[in-house]
Structure 1
Amino acid sequence: MVPFNALSTSFKTLAITALLSATCAAALAQAYPNRPVKVVIPFTPGGSNDTVGRFLADELQKKLHQPFVVENKGGAGGVVGSDSVAKAPADGYTLLLVSTPHVANPSIYKKMPYDALKSFTPVARVMAAPVVITATPRLGLRTVDDLVQQARKQPGKLSFVSSGTGSYFHLASEMFMDQTKTELLHIPYKGAGPAMADVVAGHADISIGSVLSSLPNVKSGRLKALAVSGSKRQSTMPDVPTMAEAGYPGYEADNWWGLLAPAGTPADIVNTLSRTIGEIMAAPTTAARFAPEGVLVSYQKSTDFGGFMETETVKWTRIIKAAGITAE
C-alpha cells in the first residue's frame, strides 16, 4: 500500500504539472499572431495606398513571423473595403490600411454603412505626404502669389485637375481655394495619370498633386512647381518653398496613412501591432525607402492616432461642406 504522504506528493506533482501545461497551452493559444493576418487596402492595386500598405504588411510579417496578406478591395472611394473590415471579427486578424479619404467620406457620401471613427480601433499612423502645387509653364507663374492674383482677377477661368470628384487631390485643391479666397474651375478625371497628362499638355492649368507624380515633370520643365504643403521643404525639391514660406501658413493638406482594426479589438493586440509598427517606422531604411517619393515617416501610436483622426474629420468636413462636394 502507498503511504498517504507519498500519495499526496504524487497528486501535488501531477496537479502542478497539469497546471503548468495548461498555462503554457493558454499562453501559446493567446500569442498574437499565431495565424495569417489579412490587411485590407480599400483601393485597387497601384498608387500610394498600395505602396504603403504592402510595405507595412511585408515588414510586419518579418517582425511578427506570420504572413500578413494584402487584399485589395476597392470601390466607392474606399467605403467597400472599409465596410468589410468594420464587420470583421475584432480579433486582430483583419486590419485596414486607411488614408485621408477615410475621414472625408462621411461628409461626401450621404449614407455610410459604418462610422469612420466608432467602427474601428486606431492602431497607428505611419506616414504622411505633402502635396505640390504646380502650373503649366504657359501661364508664366513663378509664385503662389502670382497664381492667387491671376485667379482673383479671373474667377473661375483658371482650371485645376483631380483624379475624381471627392478624391484626395480634389479636397486639397478645395482647401487651397478656401484659404486663398480664389475660385478655380474643377476638371475631374478618372485617375491621376490622365489628369496630370492634361496639365503637362497645357489643356488644364493647375495640379495640386503628389510629389512623386509631379517630380519628373517639374525636373523636365514641363510643369512649374510653386509650393509644397507641410512644415519643411522636400528633399527632392529643395528650391520649392513651403506654403508657409509663400505666405499661407495654414495650408495643411498633407495626405496620411494609418492602420485600423475593427472596434473592440483587444488592447494587447493593438499594443503589439502599434509597438511593432513604431519599430518599423524608426528604422532609417524606412525613411530612406520613401523619401524619394515625397513620403515622410509620421508615426503615431494608437491613442494619438485616434485623436488625430478626430481633428482631421472636423477639418475636412468644413472644407467639403463649404465646397458642396457630394458623391452623388
Structure 2
Amino acid sequence: MLKAFDKNLTQRAMQLARETLEIEADAIRALHARLETDDSVGQAVGLLMECGGRVVVSGMGKSGHIARKIAATLASTGTPAMFVHPGEAAHGDLGMVTAQDAFIAISNSGETAELMSILPIIKRMGAPLIAMTGNPQSSLALLADVHLDVSVAKEACPLNLAPTASTTVTLALGDALAVALLDAHGFKEEDFARSHPGGALGRRLLTHVRDVMRSGDAVPKVSADVSLSVALLEITQKGMGMTAIVDEAQRPIGVFTDGDLRRLIERVQDFTRITIRDVMHADPRCVGPDQLAVDAVAIMEEFRINQMLVVDTDGKLVGALHIHDLTRAKVI
C-alpha cells in the first residue's frame, strides 16, 4: 500500500504529466496553424534542395541536442547532413563547412553568443542560412535567408524556464523538413534500407538468397535412381530435413522431406525396393540466388514449407535454404 504522501505525489506527477503533454500538443497545433499562412518551410526546402553539399545543423545546449537529432534524421532519409557544435566551430570545426553546404542554426532566443559569433563567416562564404528561433525579431532571425518560427506561448515547465514545449516544436518542425525533403528527393524504402543495414528493414531489403543459402557439399542431393535408404542417409548427413533429387544436368526434379518420410511410414512397411523417384515430390519450389531472402520467406509461408531449393538461371541446383537460415540471418 502507498503511503498518503506517496499517493499525493503520484497524483501530482500524473497531473503534471497530462499538463505537459497538453501544453506541448497545443504548441504543435499552434505551429501547424502558423504554417497555413507561412511559406517559410517551402522556402527552406527549396534552399536545401539546391544545396550541393551537406546540411550543417548547429545549436547550443538543449537546442544542440535537437540539432543533433535533426541532422541524424536528415542523414537517414536521403539528405546528407551533420551536426557541428558552435563552440567547437569557433575553434577550428568551422573548416568542415563549405560554400556548397546549407547551414541550419537553432536558438530559441535567437541571440546565442556561440552561434552569432560564427554566422558572419557562414554568410561571407556564401552558404545559405536557415534559422529556427522563437523570436522572429532576433539577431539570428534577421540575419537568416529563411527564418522558421518555432515560438511557443509557454514552456511546459511549471517555472516557464526549462526548454520543453519549445524543443518539442523545434524537433517536430525538423521532422517536417526531413519528410518534405525525403519526398522531394524521391527517397524510397530501398534507400532507407541502405542507410540502415543493421536494422530489421535493412536486413529484409538488402539480404539476398545467396547471402544465407547453403551451397557446395552442404546441399543435400541424390540422383533419382538411388534407393530410399541412400536418400535418407543423405538427409541425415546434411541436416536440412530434406534432400533434392537431381537429373544428370544437376537440375532438381523433385524433393523428399522428413515429413514425407513420416507419411510414408504410415502406409508402407517394406522400403527395400523403393527408389527415391517413386516417393519424391516432383516440381519442387525453387528460388533464385539473386532474389531477396524475404521473397523466399513469402513463398515458404504461402506453401507452408520449411525448405527451398536454389537454382541458377539455367535451372541447375546451386544451393538450399532452410527456414532456420532465414531466422539466423534475422530476415524473419
**TM-score tier (shorter):** under 0.3
TM-score of the superposition, structure 2-length normalised? 0.27
TM-score of the superposition, structure 1-length normalised? 0.28
Higher RCO (C-alpha under 8 Å, 6+ residues apart): 1
Larger Rg: 2
